[in-house]
Amino acid sequence: MTLRSALLALLSSGPLTGYDLVKQFSSSVGHVWHAPDSQIYPELRRMHAEGLLSSRPVPWGTRGATKTEYALAPAGEAALIEWQNQPLTYVRDRDPARLRAAYFEWAPSGVAAAQLRAHIAHYDEQRLQTLYMIQALEQRTHPTLARRLALYSEEEREHIVRFKVFAYEGQLAHAEQEIAWAKRGLQILEDIENPGTSDPVNEPGT
């Protein structure tokens, strides 16, 4: 149940209403563990029922209405540590882009190149998003991080920032590697379309 771990991790930055949690999820932990809102609310209720979260009503608006605010209960904190303590299980590769590329001989003319350009566009967007995230973490301006850091000593803050930047640097390196891979694929397709024109070994005088 990794969504559960992601929710525990987010709530370790401080109590949140369900509404705020969903908003902060998509702008923080959701970048490394995506989950649709429709999964988050029922999971919060289950975690509350199991005693991992405590809750209290907080005022909402001006008409005396309330919303439920969730906080990590001691059992939730223990579950967070337990999650970090478990060995990670790796799933075997299921990569649709790699599968596609391995059989490009079946792609109609131009389609393989279009696929690789879409791959580059996808990871270019992720690369930019990740760069912004790393900047907001390093400058400590990311609101979820700022809230979290307020709970710790300066030395601990430094470590927390480094861990988060480290995680996003892995995402950045992955995006950059996918872009480089797809560019290499475009080169291969070009070589196949125009054999001989881009091979410097065949150039006169070399």
Contact positions vs a second copy (CB under 8 A): 2, 5-6, 9, 12, 29-34, 80-81, 83-85, 87-88, 90-108, 111-112, 114-115, 118-119, 122, 126, 156, 159-160, 162-164, 166-171, 173-174, 177-178, 180-181, 184-185, 188, 192
Provide the minimum distance between the beta carbon of 162 and a second copy in the complex, in angstroms, as a whole number: 6
In 3D space, the residue among 9, 73, 21, 26 whose CA is nearest the CA of residue 47 turns out to be 73
In 3D space, the residue among 153, 109, 159, 152 whose CA is nearest the CA of residue 137 turns out to be 159
Provide the minimum distance between the beta carbon of 107 and a second copy in the complex, in angstroms, as a whole number: 4
Q: Which is nearer to a second copy, 103 or 200 (CB)?
A: 103
Provide the minimum distance between the beta carbon of 178 and a second copy in the complex, in angstroms, as a whole number: 8
Q: What is the DSSP letter of 107?
A: S
Q: Which is nearer to a second copy, 69 or 164 (CB)?
A: 164
Specify whether the backbone of 55 is left (phi greater than 0), alpha (psi in -120 to 50) or beta. beta
Q: What amino acid occupies position 65?
A: A
Provide the minimum distance between the beta carbon of 69 and a second copy in the complex, in angstroms, as a whole number: 21
Provide the minimum distance between the beta carbon of 19 and a second copy in the complex, in angstroms, as a whole number: 21
Q: Which is nearer to a second copy, 60 or 83 (CB)?
A: 83
Q: Which is nearer to a second copy, 38 or 85 (CB)?
A: 85
Quick one: which H or E segment has residue 70? strand 65-72
Quick one: which H or E segment has residue 25? helix 18-27
Q: Which is nearer to a second copy, 69 or 119 (CB)?
A: 119
Cα 49 to Cα 4, 20, 53, 76: the distances in Å are 13, 20, 8, 12
> Sign (positive/negative) of CA torsion 75, 81, 82, 83?
positive
